[in-house]
Structure 1
């Protein structure tokens, strides 16, 4: 990748020249340059215009669009258009369509209508990618590429049709080699699920009751692998035909259906699409109506920053280090896809842009340039209104001083460990419908952020040597490799585990020796019982309320730190410690807050008490203070207006 690194934050926009008359292109490009934008992303949904009929290409419009932007000094990010296969392709090859979990074909007429496992579709994906890359790969105006668009959006990661059905048994045979090994790994003796051949294995949908969780876990892995290899085919072609240009993909908010660490390995850097108000309404099901009301016009600060920190950490997988990322689509007004879509507060776009920089973004690209006047997104905003007048977000972008946001590292001393396989197996069998993987993780993350701490969200296989405190809220699936990494980490850092740690092996079974398995010697105890608490059912640990989940431990050579005072677990250890390892079995915001605060002090990580709705972040030797409240707040000796940012040295 030869794209130059900028000394400060750069800005971009997502634009759709094919949506507007040709006579607007030069005008828009001039306005984009005058606004201070550097990048313009185009063409991710334009396959039908590029190739109106099979093998007959029409590049004239795209040639002109790229040239117009290049002449204005803007850098083009081109997208492979494979998120929207055209109607002629679907008519000729309906077998590329995905099937939903109820066995129904997902038809043409929207987007993302394909099965990643379809070899027929992969052939066409490679063909259109090569055609684009050969035509534009060396164009001086093209700075880089985005593959496809938002992999898995609209529940499209996992298809239950013929293409995936044909590919899944072959994937299993490659993984397990023999059917006996698969039967043992899945525990198929249970309910007479034993197979005598790989060809007998179907997809884990439409079963009478819940399917075997190990079957589902491997299907999640398979579907994730299909995305990984689908993208790798495109990336290989782009590397061949467009050397020196960067390649990225725009991931999504709290998206769970594939392993982002694996899928991002072939990319130069990671991008994601940030929609703070829509995220709060659509994704954060665990947040109360009171919280949603409070942050309706700004989004919740920790939901936004967690995703920034997650995507900064994806490239740290398997020994790497966190890397700067892009926000490829940044909300700049109201969205159209959440249950409720409030207009953002004055100052929100500046707040979100500054927050993205503070968590490691090198580029923020706004969605979109002009609000769409057609089809599914007419209710979605842009930097320009439908009538081409500047919207409120435009004015906030125009007022930004980019030199205030220099490039540099985020100096996190705390790591929060996350992996998708734990997410999949946790949410398959929650045992408490209100306690999802994300809710468990966000309890610990939000607590750390409320204490003014910068956090790297990373996979356990990342290089953990620089961290003073390592927090693992929900590592329920534990491999031997992860165990070894955690043992090594305790030699230099304090390690905190949350409930359900190491409750599953790599195949999805529970260890024969019970929770923790061979990790028991590290934590110093074993599980005695767990208790799933329904709404309104609370227990006590000292003065702390426990809700949702309570785990009781039998200490071997660990020291009990807290015990339950009520309920069936009264007198049983709720929190235990052995050496540098602290294990917390109770879901209790107050208890977690105090334990993390004590751990940070022990690890010599500075804590900064901040008022509710205030967050601080550090980058490049500066500290950004962010006020997400709809009212002014006194913090760090200054009065911050509502929905604002303050940069401190």
Structure 2
């Protein structure tokens, strides 16, 4: 009889930089990492200048020795391609590699991510360094996987507004449209006499007198995204050939918008992302009120973190890694508070509950040089365990079993809708992320596990499908959603189906090809400045609406809520046709009320959770989480401030 194997559990890792410290630290650090319960170490994402200090002259002895030190300690190595930091000799020999910012200025050497994805010269050197790395370490027994590059798009680097990208964009357009007549029609260039008579006349959509044509911008964003995807695909293909049997991943960024992540993730074994909860709250959530930022300054907001976990689990619909996990204060946000006691453990547990198989802390020892000396590590500068390291040491975070996240709710998200929404927000207080995350927060506050998935993906198996801001609509997508509505309840948010695939509006008005499914046509929309609101009423509930309010002319739907004041008074604000509901007004209170009803109708059980308290389920367990500074009671359990409890489901 074959003995049963123990169930796999969460593993922990760390990002380390042997090139930053003397060699006599390497063995000791590796042994300490293993003793702390770590299993993996990620290295070398910024080490190109040490690998190749001069053109074609490679120095591998230091990396050989470092990898052996980790291996001798029983650690597995995730090795990175170092292309996020092309060295000075390459840039000075080929300055045409450098990217341009939105103001048309060259972005110089002296930091990181200083390359244009479209540069043929840089692509050649990227392939070369990736190939020699794969040839040297691809079969090393300690090297179990690869990370490509580092944080595509960080520092607004997915798009270059000049140089190689400017040269390549017209050719991309010609391949897409074939004729200038087709491009001019798709973009509506007769407007403002913007028609082109030669491909060479087309420039990038920046440095204009006033607003950019949304269709022009949409295609530039698509071009830039395709360029990132092809860059990624080149590295993946080389690593597959030179390092068979090893995994390949990439560490994506918080709320990054510069490329279509679904396309760029293709070909990876799993997705990773870099989680910095307090920095995210300060730097990436401009739509959140200051009082919320203050309340969650030392933990980050649970739903912002969870949204990114679920987003990255959904790219490939499989478990993911957190490749960089904050373990103390960061150094790059406007304010950088010291995290609350227990926050590092809570972040690790939450990542597991949302589908992370491995959590890797950034970094081992705090940097003693250059741009990141104010950033924390598991070790302080003096090599003693910092607060985050002590939290990892004090609790067995690896006892959590791996398995699936049993989400019955799907939230639909796509990057083209994001780009189109944000190019013409019409309401400064709203953005695509603000609207989408508001729906997500409502669902999480009702105790639901959520899959974030592409609208064109397989939607079978979900009881409730929520599309908060599905701005771009095609006939194929409309048919797909109509089929989904046959087995699930579907909820749409404001500005659904406002645009066609070219970025124009439907000729027969919004929601165009979605009109039959929704049973309504758009009547008007109202952009509400801060302090201006309108009121909606339903049969059992009334509330105020902020930021956005749109109304409908019904062609088969029924009215659930209507406006009772303002210029749309008496008109429909929330409508339903069969299993499909449309919420036309932006209000957290309204969302909670409507979504709670939809969850019940879908056979799910909404549970109104207290502010800052969350539930997450995975692998037959429920993680109870308290993100507040007060003791709370949940499901008969007392949770101390900033803590969690793991319960086996009955």
CA-CA distance at 1:35 after TM superposition: 0.7
* 1:8–1:402 CA contact under 8 A, matched in 2: no
How far apart in 2 are the matches of 1:558 and 1:167? 47
Contact 1:611–1:635, Cα closer than 8 Å, also in 2: no
Q: For structure 1, which runs of at least 5 residues remain unmatched after alignment? A: 316-321
2:346 corresponds in structure 1 to 351
- What is residue 318 of structure 1 aligned with on the other side? none
Shift of 1:73: 1.1
**Contact kept? 1:499, 1:584, Cα under 8 Å:** yes
Task: Determine the structure 2 residue equivalent to 1:319.
Answer: none
Residue 282 of structure 2: aligned partner: 281
Corresponding residue number in structure 2 for 1:47? 48
Q: Which residue number in structure 1 is paired with residue 107 of structure 2?
A: 106
**Equivalent position of 1:647 in the other structure:** 646
CA offsets, 1:157-185, max 9 Å, x none?
A: 11012201111011111111111111111
Counterparts of residues 211-290 of structure 1 (less than 5 Å)? 211-290=212-291
1:400 maps to 395
CA distance in 1, matches of 2:300, 2:250: 24
TM normalised by structure 2 equals 0.98
SS of the residue 2:38 aligns to: coil
CA distance in 2, matches of 1:383, 1:370: 6
Match of 2:536 in 1: 541
Alpha-carbon distance, 1:394 to partner: 0.8
Contact 2:46 2:84 in 1 (8 A): yes
Partner of 1:166: 167
Residue 196 of structure 1 is matched in structure 2 by 197
1:454 to 440, 444, 449: 449
Partners of 2:46 and 2:476 lie apart in 1 by 41
Alignment of 1:82-93 (within 5 A): 82-93=83-94
| More deviation, 475-484/622-631 | 475-484
Distance 1:463 1:444, change over 3 A: same
- 1:593 and 2:592 matched: yes
Per-residue CA deviation, residues 424-482 of structure 1 (Å, 9 max, x unaligned), is 01000000011000010011100000010000000011211000000000001112222
Partner of 1:26: 27
> Which of 498, 520, 526 does residue 531 from structure 1 map onto?
526
Q: Is the 8 A contact 2:349 2:397 kept in 1?
A: no
State the Cα deviation string for residues 290-312 of structure 1 (Å, max 9, x = none). 10111000000000000000000
Following superposition, the deviation at residue 402 of structure 1 comes to 4.0
* Equivalent residues in 2 for 1:274-313, closer than 5 Å: 274-313=275-314
Q: Counterpart of 1:471?
A: 466
State the partner residue of 1:12.
Answer: 13
1:562 has 2:557 as partner: no
Secondary structure of 1:11's aligned partner: strand
Q: Give the SS at the match of 1:38.
A: strand
Partner Cα distance (1:153, 1:258) in 2? 11
Which residue number corresponds to residue 418 of structure 2? 423
Deviations 1:490-512 (A, max 9, x none): 01000000000000001000000
Q: State the shift of 1:608 in Å.
A: 2.1
Corresponding residue for residue 180 of structure 2: 179
How far apart are the structure 2 equivalents of 1:338 and 1:194? 43
> CA separation in 2, counterparts of 1:245 and 1:514?
51
RMSD: 1.0
Q: Report the Cα offset of residue 586 of structure 1.
A: 0.5
Matched, 1:577 2:572: no
Shift of 1:403: 5.0
1:421/1:477 contact within 8 Å kept? yes
Kept after mapping to 1: 8 A contact 2:98/2:116: yes
How far residue 5 of structure 1 moved from its aligned partner, in angstroms, is: 11
Q: 1:493 aligns with which of 485, 488, 504?
A: 488
Structure 1 residues 42-78: Cα deviation after superposition (integer angstroms, max 9, x where no partner) = 0000000100100010011001111111111100000
CA distance in 1, matches of 2:197, 2:435: 39
TM-score of the superposition, structure 1-length normalised?
A: 0.98
Distance in 1 (alpha carbons) for counterparts of 2:641 and 2:592: 26
After the TM superposition, which parts of structure 1 deviate over 4 Å for at least 4 consecutive aligned residues?
none
Q: Secondary structure at the match of 1:105?
A: coil
Pairwise CA distance, 1:404:
3.0
Deviations 1:262-309, CA, capped at 9 Å, x for gaps = 000111100000000000011111111110111000000000000000
Mapped to 2, the partners of 1:123 and 1:400 lie a distance apart of: 47
Q: Tell me the secondary structure at the aligned position of residue 209 of structure 2.
A: coil
Distance between the aligned counterparts of 2:491 and 2:371, measured in 1?
46
8 Å contact kept, 2:489–2:579: yes
Query: Does structure 1 residue 69 correspond to structure 2 residue 70?
Result: yes
Post-superposition Cα deviations, 1:288-343, rounded to whole Å, max 9, x if no partner, equal: 1110111000000000000000000001xxxxxx2000000000000000000000
The residue number in structure 2 matching 1:516 is 511
For residue 621 of structure 2, what is the aligned residue in structure 1?
A: 622
8 A Cα contact 1:253 1:272, kept in partner: yes
What stretches of structure 2 of length at least 5 have no aligned partner?
A: none
Tell me the residue number matched to 1:381. 376
- Tell me: CA distance 1:509–1:301, structure 2 relative to 1, closer, same or farther (3 Å): same
**CA–CA distance in 2 between the matches of 1:335 and 1:523?**
46
d(CA) in 2 for partners of 1:252 and 1:482?
27
Deviation at 1:399, TM superposition (A): 2.5
